[in-house]
Amino acid sequence: MSNRQFKLKQRPSGMVKREDFEFTQGPMPEPGPGEVLVKVLYLSLDPAMRGWMNEGKSYVPPVGIGEVMRAGGAGRVIKSNDPKFAPGDHVIGLPGVQEYAAVAGKALTKVDPKLAPLPVYLGTLGMPGMTAYFGLLEVGEFKPGDVVVVSGAAGAVGQVVGQVAKIKGAGKVVGIAGGPDKCKWCVEQLGYDACIDYKSEDVKKALKQHCPKGVDLYFDNVGGDILDTVLTQLAMKARIVICGAISQYNNTTPMKGPSNYMSLLVNRATMRGMVVFDYAARYKDAAMEMGGWMAQGKLKSREDVVAGLETFPETLLKLFKGENFGKLVLKVDVSS
């Protein structure tokens, strides 16, 4: 049996292209001591993967040229050299863009597909959901009554930020998303008070209308012009969570920083970056709370599942073109 894999062939310039990868057939991996052989069923496609392809210092080392592309995923245990896992168990971890992975048992988490479908463990109950939860409540120092604005509002992280803010008693939650369908869904299905379509509306004017007393907490998923615009509408002591800057990830010129940052001084506001892995020790507690909300129907979760490992480069691009609706997941095996 062979193992189809996507390896990084070259460091992309601008948008990722199929030619940046090599699609190869490798031998079936054999798990070493303490390792587990996993059949990868779903891969999590994340904006961060674009950054992992770049050279240079970041919060994790870059993927090496010739290495299997790093990716989160969910799968089934085939063979185990770790007593904590048995064949048939379902797990999540970082298997990479391939069909089979030998992964250290200590880097895997067991999940129960009877409690939630596997793609949900890569989204709302996984890394993006944890980012939303800790980003909003800890980094953003959320307080009941806050006027919260979230960009990328219909995405994997954004959809959870808006709903958790409502559950925890926000004064108002305003989303910013691309297109009427995403905005309609945020308001009608997720309970946002309003959603601004940045592709067709004047964001500054709309923010003034929806947040007349200013924004207390801005959860930034996109950076660029939207961050700059929200900076002009801050309330006193506002908090900005720098979660990501997807509008800038494929730049061939240097990233664009905010020019309106003096608004932080005027409003005694703070802007703080976050990396979700810093909260890993507390994921379990957050997942318990969020799982409870899901069971009660208070927290909804949308996944956008595309089938076929071979589509990986084009499917990843959906994130940067705004074509995903909810958490983007790649189903590895089309036939299963």
Ligand X SMILES: NC(=O)c1ccc[n+]([C@@H]2O[C@H](COP(=O)([O-])OP(=O)(O)OC[C@H]3O[C@@H](n4cnc5c(N)ncnc54)[C@H](OP(=O)(O)O)[C@@H]3O)[C@@H](O)[C@H]2O)c1
The H or E element that residue 314 is part of is helix 312-321
Q: How far is the CB of 235 from ligand X (least distance, A)?
A: 23
Residues 182-221: x where in contact with ligand X by CB under 6 A, - otherwise, as a string: x--------------------------------------x
The H or E element that residue 7 is part of is strand 2-8
Choice between 75 and 158, CB closer to ligand X: 158
Instruction: Pick out residues in 239-278 that bind ligand X (CB under 6 A).
Output: 243-247, 274-276
Q: Does 319 bind ligand X (CB under 6 A)?
A: yes
Q: Does 324 bind ligand X (CB under 6 A)?
A: yes
Out of 41, 48, 49, 196, the only residue in the binding site for ligand X (CB under 6 A) is 48
- C-beta contacts of 247-254 below 8 A and 24+ residues apart: 247/222, 247/223, 248/223, 248/224, 249/47, 249/50, 249/51, 249/320, 250/14, 250/15, 250/16, 250/50, 250/320, 251/14, 252/13, 252/14
> Mapping DSSP to helix (H, G, I), strand (E, B) and coil, where does residue 284 land?
helix
Distance CA 77, CA 31 (A): 11
Q: Choose the binding region for ligand X from 92-100, 227-235, 295-303, 317-325 (rule: CB under 6 A).
A: 317-325
Q: Choose the binding region for ligand X from 23-31, 98-106, 178-186, 188-196 (rule: CB under 6 A).
A: 178-186
Out of 16, 41, 47, 309, the only residue in the binding site for ligand X (CB under 6 A) is 47
Q: DSSP assignment of 171-209, as one string? A: SEEEEEESSHHHHHHHHHTT--SEEEETTTS-HHHHHHH
Q: How far is the CB of 72 from ligand X (least distance, A)?
A: 10
Q: Does 329 bind ligand X (CB under 6 A)?
A: no
The answer to whether 39 and 20 are in contact (CB under 8 A) is no
Which residues of this chain interact with ligand X, rule CB under 6 A? Answer: 46-48, 128, 131, 152, 154-158, 177-179, 182, 221-222, 243-247, 274-276, 319-320, 322, 324, 327-328
